[in-house]
Amino acid sequence: MKLWAGRFSKDTDSRVNDFNSSISFDARMFKEDIEGSIAHAEMLGTCGIIGKAEAANIIKGLECLLADIQSGSLAFDPEAEDIHMFVETVLTQRLGDSGKRLHTARSRNDQVALDIRLYLKKEIKAKKKLLVEMLNVLIEKASEHTATVMPGYTHLQRAQPVTLAHHLLAYAQMFKRDITRLEDCAQRMNECPLGSGALAGTTYPIDRTLTAHLLGFDAPTQNSLDSVSDRDFIIELLSALSIIMMHLSRFSEEIILWCSWEFKFIELDDAYATGSSIMPQKKNPDVAELVRGKTGRVYGSLLTMLTVMKGLPLAYNKDMQEDKEAVFDALDTVKLCLETFTPMLSTMRVIKENMRAAASRGFINATDCADYLVKKGLPFRDAYKITGELVAFCIEKGKTLETLTIEQFKEFSTFFENDIFNAISLENCVSGRNIIGGPAAQCVIVQIEELNNFIRNEINEI
């Protein structure tokens, strides 16, 4: 017999039971459901809505129920409609009428809104921890390669010289923003909906502020209709998770390019690559490719929730049950990707000589050549034109700027002197960009120090 069956004169069709049930996926929130029920029972007892002794008995029963689930001695009933009904049914079987009193002054609508918030708050902390681990690896790698010159790209064309450290720290900045984005999401999520009832609150003299504080929320939600119908916090989290995956996917694309024979900037550890069933020479970057592919899966979860919510009138609608599978799958996917990508990055071997060789081709010091002429007194546009003519000459003759003689330089401008060779040295091109956010070693070290400070603060919070 279902706990809500009083209104109905016949049993629910078995197909509707299967269609309606959510226990198969919302069972993962059992701890949060019981935590919420314990706080609710304590509030009921404190407010005199039920006796304090009965509240204590309910709390003890819930604690025992939680311990039994965690030990494996109590299995979830696949016939239960959802985790909320399962917990209440088992509690009532064990306690009798006391178990029936637990649901006083609440609805499954505010109960599920509470459970998912409690669950997601914990998940956000877990994702922040994984991102901090990623940052630590990026910082470690960057610290090893502050002098490893490589080409920086625009339009996937060699553009200007940078270092591998500078390149890796660009991703560190992305993941740093991801952490703060999750924190922003958690802050807006940190209001307690319990006590909002089905949609219009309750006539019982409850203390919603007490419940909120017992559960670690900043405050209760301010509108009962919004409390049970709001899923903005899930959409916002899915957006943050999608951005994390976008960053991972961009990084994956570069890893895939870099370990190809056309680049050969890195080699992945054998533990994080796979082979071919037919081509014995192959070493495939499957981890990076799967991360790139799974990004679309997380995007799909975000689109699912945006579509589910776009036409729903207030307040609760059963459509909203679709929120959990979408966000759970996205959370699991991001966790799997971060847990696999981070050690792949940590164990990859950097082939510095190939990066340096690539940087020496493609005229990525052409801007520095033009800047040299500007510093000698030429207007930038004139310097730009002269340098472009020099590059065209080098392409025609199969040379690079570094291999030209001073006499050849002077054929294009009398402003050139012997110090041009210092100006277009790749190492000097990098070290000369000694400005905030630049690729010079001193600037990179500042970035690393600031990221380390950020990580220390995050670890204290986590």
Alpha helices for 215-321 (secondary structure H)? 224-229, 232-258, 286-309
Query: How far is the C-alpha of 38 from the C-alpha of 58, rounded, in Å?
Result: 8
Q: Buried b / exposed e across 337-349, counting CB within 10 Å, b at 16+?
A: bbeebbebbbebe
Q: HSE, CB side, 13 Å, CA atoms: give it for residue 147.
A: 0
* Among 206, 448, 239, 231, residue whose Cα is nearest residue 320: 231
Looking at 71, 73, 155, 277, which residue is catalytic? Answer: 155
Tokens of 163: 């270092």
Q: What is the DSSP string of 341-386?
A: HHHHHHHPEE-HHHHHHHHTSS-TTHHHHHHHHHHHT--HHHHHHH
Q: Is 143 a catalytic residue?
A: no
Query: How far is the C-alpha of 384 from the C-alpha of 220, rounded, in Å?
Result: 62
Pair 88, 99: CB distance under 8 Å: yes
Query: How far is the C-alpha of 156 from the C-alpha of 20, rounded, in Å?
Result: 50
Tokens of 36: 């919420």
Phi, psi at 439, each rounded to 5°: -85, -5
Q: Is 84 a catalytic residue?
A: no
Which neighbouring-strand residues pair with 151?
161
Q: Residue 103 carries which side chain, given as an amino acid letter? A: H
In sequence order, which residues have a C-beta less than 8 Å from that of residue 299 and are 6 or more positions away? Answer: 242, 245
Angle at 175 between CA 172 and CA 180, to 5 degrees: 125
Pair 215, 241: CB distance under 8 Å: no
Radius of gyration of the chain (CA): 30
Query: How far is the C-alpha of 268 from the C-alpha of 272, rounded, in Å?
Result: 6
Phi, psi at 266, each rounded to 5°: -140, 165
Catalytic site positions: 155, 276
